[in-house]
Structure 1
Amino acid sequence: MARLEAPVDLGGKTVGNRLYRAPLLECAGNGPDAVDALIEDLEPAADAGAGLLCQGATIVRGEGGRGAPGMSRVHDPAFVERLGRLTDRIHDHGARIALQLEHGGLRTMETWHSEYRAAHPDLEQLAVSRPPAQLRALDRLGLVSFDPSVLDTAEVYGLAADFGKAAARAVEAGYDAIHLAGANMGIVQQFLSPFYNRRDDEFGGSRPEDRTRFLELVHDEIRTRAGDVPLLTKVPAETAAPRIVRRHLDRDDGVAIAEHLAEYGFDAVAPVETNVIWDMSIVRGAYPERAWESDEFAEGYADAFGSRYRARAVAALNRLQERRFDFEPAWNEEFCRRVRRRVDVPVMLEGGVRERGQIDRLLGEAGEEPAADAVGMARPFYAEPRLPARLLESDATTGSAPRYGVDAETRVACESCNNCTVPQVTGAPGVCRTPSVLRRRGELEKAGAYERDADD
């Protein structure tokens, strides 16, 4: 059996293989059709053989905290109970499902989305500390709008309790694991980062380990309220921070944080290199020209950014970022490898993984040092919802060689063009919109690449 097809233990639960769907924005919201939308998004990957599916960032509170339109909330027990229909469908295919819990803190719609801010004038952002000077300068320029409420110590405990309550509801609904959104500039990264965290209470400090206290508290709340559910988190290294940001997490800091969390009781870590602000360091790849120039989304961009002029300015900044964040295959590889040497829990690698041969190398199939114990993809699932069927499919004779050949047919159709992501600022769903990719998927469908044998 090839290593990708081998099971992996996640906090005492067996995951059938080491390919997982990394967290994505499903944009399902909380409406009457939300569960059906989530099933439509997630079930194809389970049916196609993915071992683990990570449902994208869901907000632990009923107001505020959303980083983008359409994020679901899990504060309502009645809604979470209905999610049991989703977890049942995933389990019917022998897969596991994790729920990613999130609060955006300073990176929320009330900071950047003009129409949302106007409709919710009383909403404040939750802040770990006073916003850094660089962000206050952006506020003065009118690029963002901060009205922060700095959490006092008691409020930090209350926020951690909300994570625990959400986790308990999720376990009742059948989720197999809890995934904390520890990067992408949400509230957890803001606690970890010296750029944001200048607190002088028990949740601050000069060492990276000192600033993990919030994650430790969330861990304790989840263990108390939800039991021994497998608990994993992203761990950031802010290596993409610009030179004007001197206080940030370097790779050594990220390794120290991951090691500390593994010792504290987290069951898996996903190390990711990112920035201190939300930008293309998260996704990388091409400037999404088709998405920005589409008349279909022009009004939505204007609503989000305040005017068509501002939307064009954001697009121009996006084009500049493309030059800085060129696509790099498996860009978190070295960070993950360093973490894996220091921890005794599974290391989950995602970011820029695009073909089966690359996955095998990252897992140590060729005899070199593994960088990870499981490998995930995100945007490629927008392009191919049933992607695992052709990455995991084995030759009937050898039981190991991919049926379609490593060099050609087991490369994902996704071109990392980002036309799927930019329209999400308007509330549009995350789907592939690139004709060449859709044609490729059609060709693969006709060739039977997404079909699975009954025994698989």
Structure 2
Amino acid sequence: MTALEAPVEIGGVTVPNRLYRAPVLECAGTGDEAAVDALVDELEPTTESGVGLVFQGASVVTETGGFAAPNMTRMHDPEFVARLERLTDAVHAHEGKIFVQLAHGGLRSLSLWHGEYRERYPDRRQLAVSRPPRALRLLDRAGILSLKPHVLSTEEVYDLAEKFGRSAGYAVDAGYDGIHLSAANMGIIQQFLSPYYNRRDDEFGDGVRFLEVVHDAVRDHAGDVPLLTKVPVETDSPPFVRRRISRLSGLDTAQRLDRIGYDALVPVEVSVFWDMSIIRGAFPDRAWAAADLQSAYETAFGGPVRARAVELLNRLQARQFDRDPGWNADFCRRVRRRVDVPVLLEGGLRARADCDRYLGDDGDPPAADMVGMARPFYAEPRLGARLLEGHDALCASCNNCTVPQVAGEPGRCRTPSVVRAQARLAEKDAYERDTGAGSGSESEQ
């Protein structure tokens, strides 16, 4: 048995192997059976293929606001969340585990940047940790963003933490095996942790304090369910950003979260902004050029000029960020040396050999206890069967799956060569599980 195939325990829950589907936007919608259907259709094939742990992507804990992209899922309504038992049952039927990632966009919410949303809800404000940074204020004055911050009082911060706890309780009642907090990608938890955003003068001026209160709220509502969180460092921020989460600060945060009682950590290197540091890879030229999406882009970004400006910025950023597989591995390894809980690695992994390497099969000290992929599952929902047999993902990191999501499109592969390769593999039954543990690292690319 390789390290990838070995079970691992997170907070008392045994995951059957060390491969996970990382949180990624499903754009499934919320509140009705169609949303449940969409989540089952997306996540059941992955766990059926042998992936040990699947994460339902960022799901918002408040009744209004908080969406960072259209058609996200909300977890605030116990009646709707109870219907998601159909999803958790489907995962458990294949002996997999499912955690839900709880989130809130804070300043990154739709009311900041989405043109149609701003027109529909002109009075919506973004929850803010402190007065927004100067860069965002300048973009607001230039008319590029619509900045309407509501700075949370101390009481409101406690109330927000309670919403995370209540949503966690609803999820556990519906059969979810664990809770994951979205503490990166410019969401509100990263904003609490970041000195770029957090200049509070109350107890929450220490951003880890917010994660401590959320931890306590989750324990109150969901008991001893496994609880993990991302641990961001803002090393990929633009040079003009002077106040940021350093690696040293990130390591300190990880150690404190271990002491508070978090059951696993996901260290990530990010920016203070929502930019290409999140996804990296090639400029998604096919997605930007798609004729059927031009109107949707213009609607989302507030007109053709703004849409072209975002496209240009996307093109420039695509050249900036390192695309090495496992780009968070160095930070993960440093965290793993200092904590006693499992560390999860994600970010650009595509090859089985890299998964084995970071889990320590090649003799190196392991960087992580689990390895995850996200976008590759858009191209191959049943990718787990091939990875566990020793093959590589088809995903070319072209990002043509991601840009359409700003218009509410579901994540799917839009690169013809990859789609054709996936179809050929499916015809050869390459996605049928073979529990006889094949070996080798042949690439299908």
TM over 0.5: yes
Q: Tell me the alpha carbon deviations over residues 246-284 of structure 1, each in whole angstroms, 9 at most, x when there is no partner.
A: 000111111111111011100000001000010000000
Look up the match of 2:8.
8
TM-score (structure 2 length as normaliser):
0.97
- In the alignment, which of 403, 407, 412 is matched to residue 431 of structure 1? 412
Q: Aligned pair in 2 of structure 1 residues 455, 355: CA closer, same or farther (>3 Å)?
A: closer
SS in 1 for 2:127: strand
Alignment counterpart, residue 263 of structure 1, candidates 259, 263, 269? 259
Greater CA deviation, 42-51 or 323-332? 323-332
Do 2:65 and 2:109's aligned partners in 1 also have CA atoms closer than 8 Å?
yes
* 8 Å CA contact 1:355, 1:412 repeated in 2: yes
Q: Is the 8 A contact 1:46 1:95 kept in 2?
A: yes
* 1:121-200 alignment runs, 5 A limit: 121-200=122-201
Question: SS of 2:204's equivalent?
Answer: coil
CA contact (8 A) 1:129 1:151 kept: yes
Question: Which range moves more in the overlay, 326-335 or 62-71?
Answer: 326-335
Q: d(CA) in 2 for partners of 1:286 and 1:23? A: 20
| TM, length-normalised to structure 1 | 0.94
Task: Tell me by how many angstroms 1:445 deviates.
Answer: 1.6
Deviation readout 1:131-185 (Å, 9 max, x if unpaired): 0111111111112111000000000000000000000000000000000001111
Counterpart residue number, 2:440 = none
| Matched residue SS, 1:198 | coil
CA distance in 2, matches of 1:420, 1:118: 27
Contact 1:286 1:416 in 2 (8 A): yes
Give yes or no for contact 1:65–1:103 (8 Å, CA) kept in 2. Answer: yes
Distance in 2, Cα, partners of 1:107 & 1:323: 23
Shift of 1:443: 2.1
Match of 1:17 in 2: 17
Aligned sequence identity (%): 62
Q: Confirm or deny: 8 A CA contact 1:24 1:56 kept in the other structure.
A: yes
Tell me the secondary structure at the aligned position of residue 324 of structure 1.
coil
Matched residue type, 2:10? L
Distance in structure 1 (CA, Å) of the matches to 2:169 and 2:117: 30
CA distance in 1, matches of 2:242, 2:234: 11
Structure 1 residue 446 displacement after superposition: 2.5
2:147 counterpart SS class: coil
**Does structure 2 conserve the Cα–Cα contact (< 8 Å) formed by 1:380 and 1:413?**
yes
Contact 2:385 2:434 (C-alpha < 8 Å) held by counterparts: no
Residue by residue over 1:4-44, the C-alpha shift from the partner in whole angstroms, topping out at 9 and shown as x without a partner, is 00000000010000000000100011133010100000001
The answer to whether the Cα contact below 8 Å between 2:42 and 2:381 also exists between their aligned partners in 1 is: yes
Aligned to 2:393: 412
Which residue in the other structure is 2:421 paired with?
Answer: 440
Name the aligned partner's letter for residue 446 of structure 1: E
Check 1:454–1:255 CA distance in 2 against 1; reply closer, same or farther (3 A cut).
Answer: closer
Whole-Å separation in 1 of the counterparts to 2:51 and 2:270 = 26
Structure 2: runs of 5+ lacking an equivalent: 438-445
One-letter identity of the residue aligned with 2:21: R
Tell me, yes or no, if the aligned pair for 2:386 and 2:392 is still in contact at 8 Å. no
Specify the SS of the correspondent of 2:347.
coil
Which segment is superposed worse, 229-238 or 437-446?
437-446
1:99, 1:170 within 8 Å by CA — same for their partners in 2? yes
**Residue 421 in structure 1 maps to residue 402 in structure 2:** yes
What is the alpha-carbon distance in structure 1 between the residues aligned to residue 50 and residue 33 of structure 2? 28
Deviations 1:224-249 (A, max 9, x none): 11100000001101001111110001
**In the alignment, is the contact (CA less than 8 A) between 1:233 and 1:270 conserved in 2?**
yes
Q: CA deviation at 1:308?
A: 1.1
In 1, distance between residues paired with 2:436 and 2:220?
40
Q: Extract unaligned runs of 5+ from structure 1.
A: 205-209, 394-401, 403-409
SS in 2 for 1:4: coil
1:368, 1:329 → 2: CA distance? 16
In structure 1, what is the Cα distance between the partners aligned to 2:309 and 2:149?
Answer: 25
The residue that corresponds to 2:316 in the other structure is 320
Contact 1:286/1:326 (CA < 8 Å) preserved in 2? no
Cα distance in 2 between the residues matched to 1:136 and 1:333 = 34
Deviations 1:78-125 (A, max 9, x none): 100000000000000000000000000000100000110110112110
Q: How many equivalent pairs are there?
A: 436
Within 2, Cα distance between the matches of 1:452 and 1:20?
Answer: 16
Q: What does residue 121 of structure 2 align with?
A: 120
Q: Which residue of 2 aligns with 1:37?
A: 38
Aligned to 1:449: 430
Q: Which AA in structure 2 matches 1:187?
A: I
One-letter identity of the residue aligned with 1:132:
P
Residue aligning to 2:217 = 221
Structure 2 CA distance for aligned equivalents of residues 311 and 219 of structure 1:
39
TM superposition shift of 1:453: 3.6
Q: Which amino acid aligns with 2:406?
A: V
Q: Which residue of 2 aligns with 1:103?
A: 104
Return closer, same or farther for 1:246/1:389 CA change in 2, 3 Å cut-off.
same
User: Aligned to 1:348, which of 324, 344, 348?
Assistant: 344
Question: Quick check: 1:297 aligned with 2:293?
Answer: yes
Q: How is 1:226-305 mapped onto 2 (pairs within 5 angstroms)?
A: 226-305=222-301
Q: RMSD between aligned alpha carbons? A: 1.0
